Structure 1
Amino acid sequence: MYIKDTNSIVYELIDYPEFLENFYNDDKKARNDLDKSQLKIFEEGLNADELTDLIASDDYSSDERIVFIRAIENKITNESAKILAENFQKNHNVEPELLLSICELLSKYQNQEVYDLFLKYISDDAINDDSVQNIIIDYFNNYE
């Protein structure tokens, strides 16, 4: 929900006088409020296709793309999962935080594109993250 504040519209979670000061002083509540606000804005304002395009784009940082991944969790379709898997299949330099988020998201979809992506990842000796490896192993163990 947005609040009309004089000449601007502000998301309600960050509409308090000390927000900016708290945010720049690394206050945990202010940072969490901003993260929640961004997530809600993307969830409410973008559909699965738009979020898929943003996640696949190299124009955004890994942190931004992780927010998009969180926003698409309840909207993603099998087709969106295929598109993302194909995109990440071509992308060779995926940062560890983004890799974990994308694997968590795609592990819910049993299709050839996700299977191929996870096969690539599990075969890649560069993946040293136990969490990612466990997600992929569970995926293959439960693949029907």
Structure 2
Amino acid sequence: MRVQLKDTVTLQTNLSLDQSYIVYEIESTASGNTYYRIENDAKQVVPYDAALFDVVSDKLYGEWTILNKSNQSSARVPGEFAYTSFWEEFYNDDPRALRAFRQVKARFYLAELEAFEIKDILESNNEDEIYFVLNMLIRAKCDTFIYEVIQFAKTRLVEHTYSENDLLITAFEYLSLFKEEHIHAFLIGYLTNIELGNDKLTKIVSNYFAS
């Protein structure tokens, strides 16, 4: 499910009119109000009054369940979030809750985001989102974005002078999943400058050609 800020409302802090947001919880209060818990522009996952938004996609992916809360409100949540202490644990950086959130977010991204939106992330300066998307694509073994990841890796190699970098390593790990001529050419190019390389990248490339 995705929502977008209504163009008739006063601009909200950390929300953009041209951005659509994935909904991670739909809460209904005893007084009849509805709140959408979304990840805002500041990467904070917080509830907002549903009246602020238009629904641009109402499909709920995966198993959702109704969770009754102690304050007489109820919430519709993905199955991974279906225990009363989930959000408290999430905000306290509990590993189990964070892992569950990342799993759900990846599933929703794959289901909801258009190809151009994923490309925009890969071409952005948002390193956290790039890292998340690269790992999502690795888990899904999705070969749709080979060209964009090659371009990202080329730029990153130059900017970081072939130094070890988590984003660059993850990009190489993604590319190493696929036997494809553009990947082959890119990795051959890396080997021609191997004196500038680093051990982790070289190991990924060596394993690629050895397999």
Tell me, yes or no, whether TM beats 0.5: yes
Q: Does 1:20 align with 2:76?
A: no
- From 35, 44, 49, the counterpart of 1:8: 35
CA contact (8 A) 1:23 1:30 kept: yes
Match of 1:76, SS state, is coil
Highest Rg: 1 or 2?
Answer: 2
Q: 1:53 to 1:93 in 2, by over 3 A?
A: same
Distance 1:129 1:8 in 2: 49
Report matched runs for 1:78-117 at 5 Å. Answer: 80-91=145-156, 92-93=158-159, 96-107=165-176, 108-112=178-182, 114-117=183-186
Say if 1:121 and 1:15 are closer, same or farther in 2 by CA, change over 3 A: farther
Which is bigger in relative contact order (C-alpha 8 A, separation at least 6)? Answer: 1
Q: TM-score, normalised by structure 2?
A: 0.53
1:38 paired with 2:60, answer no
Compute the displacement of 1:103 (Å): 0.9
What residue in structure 1 maps to residue 129 of structure 2? 64
CA contact (8 A) 1:3 1:15 kept: no
- Is the 8 Å Cα contact of residues 122 and 152 (structure 2) preserved in structure 1? no
Given residue 117 of structure 1, which amino acid in structure 2 is its aligned partner?
A: F
Distance 1:139 1:34 in 2: 32
Tell me whether 29-38 or 132-141 shows the greater mean CA deviation.
132-141
The yes-or-no answer on 1:128 pairing with 2:155 is: no
Distance in 2, matches of 1:127 and 1:104, equals 15
Offset of residue 117 of structure 1: 3.3
Specify every segment of 5 or more residues in structure 1 that has no aligned partner in the other structure, as ranges. none
Superposed displacement of residue 15, structure 1: 5.0
Identical aligned residues as a percent: 23
| 1:82–1:111 contact (8 Å) kept in structure 2 | no
Q: 1:102 to 1:138 in 2, by over 3 A?
A: same
- Of 81-90 and 26-35, deviating more is 81-90
Give the TM-score, by structure 1 length: 0.72
- Opposite residue 159 of structure 2, the aligned amino acid is N
Unaligned runs of 5+ in 2: 2-23, 29-33, 38-76
In 2, the alpha carbon distance for the partners of 1:20 and 1:125 equals: 48
Greater per-residue strand proportion: 2
Equivalent-residue separation in structure 1 for 2:81 and 2:197 (angstroms): 37
Do 2:26 and 2:36's aligned partners in 1 also have CA atoms closer than 8 Å?
yes
